[in-house]
Chain A
Amino acid sequence: EVQLLESGGGLVQPGGSLRLSCAASGFTFSSYALTWVRQAPGKGLEWVSGISGSGSSTYYAASAKGRFTISRDNSKNTLYLQMNSLRAEDTAVYFCAKGVDSGSYYWLDPWGQGTLVTVSS
């Protein structure tokens, strides 16, 4: 069974940093692209970032570019999202989701349970 388990969320002050992790199991980790998607409280889904299976290609939403860095450690079956210069509007549940193959995530399935990031003073 494919499983994704996010961790690392919490309360952080504006301007602070946080690193999210997503531990994967049940599939050949390096063979699949992965993404981060977030959902602000009471709002819809917003794609944040994606990474290829090898980690050589990364992509960001405009809201994340320059502040967030996606990476992966294929030896540890873990996906990361380093978030810097956090703002109140980054407050959201962050989900990781698995793509279709090593280079594509046009379909996201499955999703993890999410981890809550709260940016507040």
Chain B
Amino acid sequence: FMLTQPHSVSESPGKTVTISCTRSSGSIASNYVQWYQQRPGSSPTTVIYEHNQRPSGVPDRFSGSIDSSSNSASLTISGLKTEDEADYYCQSYYTSIVLFGGGTKLTVL
């Protein structure tokens, strides 16, 4: 299956933005979805794992969810800060194969 993300999103500081990740086939709930943040020149870091879990150190402004009706996962960032500007990737897996979405460039302006 494939994971499809919007190429880019933009929003103003203090606002809320949601990034979607749609699974092409099979149920989104069948395999955990993770979300990674990648700032320019840096390695990816986890902001959400197992659909909606936040690692320690990640602000609660970041939240994850899945929607079976649209077969998609979502990353929501509230109270946007300029430091949230980055690329965001969703990721899932099946039978030991890891799949990434194409990435979404978040611009905070």
Contacts and interface: CB of A to CB of B under 8 A. Distances in A.
B26 to A, nearest CB: 15
Given A44-B89, A45-B103, A109 B49 contact: yes
Contacts of B55: 109
A109 B103 CA distance: 18
Contact of B43 (A35, A44, A107, A114): A114
A37 interface: yes
A59 B95 CA distance: 9
A16 interface: no
A109 B46 contact: yes
Report the interface size class on chain B.
20 to 34
Binding site secondary structure of chain B: strand
A44 B103 contact: yes
A59 B97 CA distance: 7
Interface residues of A, number: 21
Given A37-B98, A61-B97, A107 B50 contact: yes
A61 B99 CA distance: 10
B81 to A, nearest CB: 22
Interface string A47-88: 100100000010101000000000000000000000000000
A36 B55 CA distance: 22
Interface string A81-121: 00000000000000100000000011111111110000000
A18 B87 CA distance: 29
B25 interface: no
Nearest to B98: A47
Given A50-B96, A111-B44, 14 more contacts: A37-B98, A37-B100, A44-B87, A44-B89, A45-B44, A45-B91, A46-B100, A47-B99, A59-B97, A95-B43, A107-B32, A108-B34, A110-B43, A113-B43
